[in-house]
Amino acid sequence: MKITSVTATPLGVPLDEELRWGAMAVKVKGGIVVKITTDEGLEGIGEAGFSAVYFPTVGPIINQQLGPMLLGKDPRNIGGIWQEMLNATHMWGRRGIETYALSGIDIALWDLLGKISNQPVYRLLGASKSKVRAYFAPALKPTAEIVPEVKAAVDNGFTAMKLRVTGDINQAVELLGSVRDAIGTGPDIMVDANMSYDRRGAYDLARELEPFGLTWLEEPILSRSLSQYVDDNTWLADRINIPLAGGESLLTRYEYIDLLSRRTFDYLQPDCTSVGGITEAKRVADMASAWNITCVPHIACSSGTGIALAAGLHMILACENAPMIEFDAYGGPGWDGMLTSPLEVKDGFVEAQDSPGLGVELSAGVYDGFALTV
């Protein structure tokens, strides 16, 4: 069996209103969809990066650099292909958009391997469970808009949610107080500060949020280097009583080494679409397990294709230290006809489909109906 084509295409839908996720705001929901075909007629799909808006930089790396390297290769040799792609970026990056591109290809290869083997990906990875608890993840909005959204989520079976806050501590306290009043003390609440503070500001925020019983505080500190990222978050972790979460923007397992050895975070959040695909996200989770650290992968709500969600689900189901999955509050093209069978939350859980590969397929005519110009 040989690879005959590797293509990347931005697919999605424009939005009537901008959605903001902290530092990032999008006017489209969609992703960079990678498709790999073989000489035996099988296809695998993946997703590269957090959003379709990155296609002008990520797309050419797949279509003109990494993709052509793979033509004629056996798609079942995922580990070897992964290393060859990483080595190829040595002179022009290795970290950044190159890793986004590598990730999308890797995910498509795993989908393809599942179809070749007639098995779901999570079983090929070494199944630990068949379903996982989902947490509701709304955008950054005013308190008056978030409260009815989280109340509806709890009514629909969610038992956990992640709220996003800005650099205004008073607004954060108001949001948490209003949400707790609305949903009570039962559901778990996490807070994503999206790197809005320096370390002392993050300390002040954490002290103010301690009474709300948070499951974790995510990415509170803006850092310009990996050493500062590790040092400042370790400094914070040693001084507060809220568990810390982070790591969504780190690329490859090598950038997690110091975080693990210093036990900076209680929750690690690698993203399959950026860290290096399912292959590398699973390696990071296994490294975390060796340090008795929980792994709850980041899944970009700025996309909404449903492909990244499926990749994250299969990786999570193969990890004993991964107890939750991030679930987009607003759906997107994957639930609007782009996929034939998108994942759904039932009674607060997402369950794997037993169909081969990732279990999600592109609908007929998707490249006409969902093509984006970005």
C-alpha–C-alpha distance, residues 288 and 267, integer Å: 9
The closest of 128, 124, 123 to 78, measured between CA atoms, is 124
- Residue matched to tokens 């490249």: 367
Number of CB atoms found within 10 A of residue 155's CB: 9
Q: Which of 34, 197, 15, 26 is nearest to 101 (CA)?
A: 34
Give pLDDT, residue 301: 82
Among residues 173, 205, 191, 150, the alpha carbon closest in space to that of 22 is found at 191
Q: How confident is the model at residue 98, as a pLDDT?
A: 94
Question: Which residues lie closer than 8 Å to 222 by C-beta, 6 or more apart?
Answer: 195, 196, 197, 198
pLDDT of 90 reads: 82
Query: What does the block give as tokens for 62?
Result: 């797949």
Contact status, residue 236 vs residue 221, Cβ threshold 8 Å: yes
Considering all CA atoms of the chain, what is the largest pairwise distance in Å, rounded to the nearest integer? Answer: 59
Q: Mind listing the pLDDT tens digit of every residue in the chain (374 residues)?
A: 999 999 999 999 999 888 888 778 888 999 999 999 999 999 999 999 999 999 999 999 999 999 999 999 999 999 999 999 999 998 877 678 999 999 999 999 999 999 999 999 999 999 999 999 999 999 999 999 999 999 999 999 999 999 999 999 999 999 999 999 999 999 999 999 999 999 999 999 999 999 999 999 999 999 999 999 999 999 999 999 999 999 999 999 999 999 999 999 999 999 999 999 999 999 999 999 999 999 999 998 878 899 999 999 999 999 999 999 999 999 899 999 999 999 999 999 999 989 999 999 999 999 999 999 87
Distance separating alpha carbons of residues 20 and 329, to the nearest angstrom: 13
Q: What pLDDT was estimated at residue 136?
A: 97
Asked if 208 and 173 count as a contact pair (C-beta separation under 8 A), the reply is yes
Which whole-number Å values give the CA distances from 54 to 194, 219, 268, 335, in the listed order? Answer: 19, 22, 24, 21
Confidence (pLDDT) at 257? 95
User: 340-366 in b/e burial notation, b at 16+ Cβ within 10 A?
Assistant: eebbebeebbbbbbeebbbbbbbeeeb
CA nearest to 34, candidates 44, 46, 51, 43 = 46
pLDDT at 22: 79
Assessment of whether the complete model's pTM goes beyond 0.85: yes
Position 353 scores a pLDDT of 85
